[in-house]
């Protein structure tokens, strides 16, 4: 297991992405999976940075667990921000035109579609959002 804790600001997305890419490359994770995980990091860490701490002061931990035998990476985003379960929101109706759709929710929807699993838990005042990707 590897962890990185940084201030929850969008400027740290490249640092988090580099941390994950380096670890995934060490286990020969295919570039396609690394790119999909990178896009998920952009969305999920960006959401924490933009919405978890209304006063702007907070940190986020990114925990990476790799099961080499199963060829699966699990990535958990942990923050002490406002409670928010992104899985509780209904998926956007992608059959509607962009003009007809409500704003928001498309990023989480895309993460759900590209990852093999996604779960949320609120425990001890913290949000835990875990995504899994087989590679």
What is the per-residue pLDDT across 60-102, written as a single tens digit (0 to 9) for each?
999 999 999 999 999 999 999 999 999 997 776 666 666 665 6
Structure tokens at 72: 């699966």
Coil/strand/helix, residue 52: helix
If you average pLDDT over residues 57-61, what whole number do you get?
A: 95
Question: Which neighbouring-strand residues pair with 123?
Answer: 126
Q: Tell me how crowded residue 9 is: count the other CB atoms within 10 A of its CB.
A: 18
Q: What is the pLDDT of residue 12?
A: 98
What is the reported pTM? 0.90
If you average pLDDT over residues 32-60, what whole number do you get?
A: 95
Say yes or no to pLDDT of 20 above 90.
yes
Q: Which helix (H) or strand (E) holds 3?
A: strand 2-7
Q: What is the pLDDT of residue 29?
A: 97
The label of the residue with tokens 């942990």 reads: 78
Q: What is the pLDDT of residue 78?
A: 98
The label of the residue with tokens 């002061």 reads: 57
Q: Are 135 and 71 in contact (CB under 8 A)?
A: yes
Say yes or no to pLDDT of 36 above 70.
yes
Selected from 3.30.420.40, 3.40.50.720, 3.30.565.10, 3.30.300.30, the CATH number assigned to the domain covering 2-134 reads: 3.30.565.10
Give the integer Cα–Cα distance in Å for 52 and 47: 7
Digit-coded pLDDT (tens) for 96-128: 666 665 666 678 999 999 999 999 999 999 999
Give the integer Cα–Cα distance in Å for 113 and 115: 6
| Measured distance between the N- and C-terminal CA atoms of the chain, rounded to whole angstroms | 17
Q: What is the pLDDT of residue 14?
A: 98
């Amino acid at each position: 297991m590897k962890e990185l804790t940084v201030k929850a600001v969008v400027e740290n997305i490249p640092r988090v992405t580099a941390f994950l890419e380096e670890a995934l490359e060490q286990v020969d994770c295919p570039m396609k999976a690394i790119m999909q995980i990178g896009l998920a990091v952009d969305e999920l860490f960006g959401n924490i940075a933009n919405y978890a701490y209304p006063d702007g002061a907070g940190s986020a931990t990114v925990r990476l667990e790799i099961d080499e035998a199963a060829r699966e990476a699990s990535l958990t985003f942990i923050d002490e921000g406002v409670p928010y379960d992104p899985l509780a929101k209904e998926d956007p109706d992608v059959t509607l035109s962009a003009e007809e759709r409500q704003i928001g929710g498309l990023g989480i929807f895309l993460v759900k579609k590209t990852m093999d699993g996604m779960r949320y838990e609120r425990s001890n005042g913290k949000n835990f959002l875990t995504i899994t990707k087989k590679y």
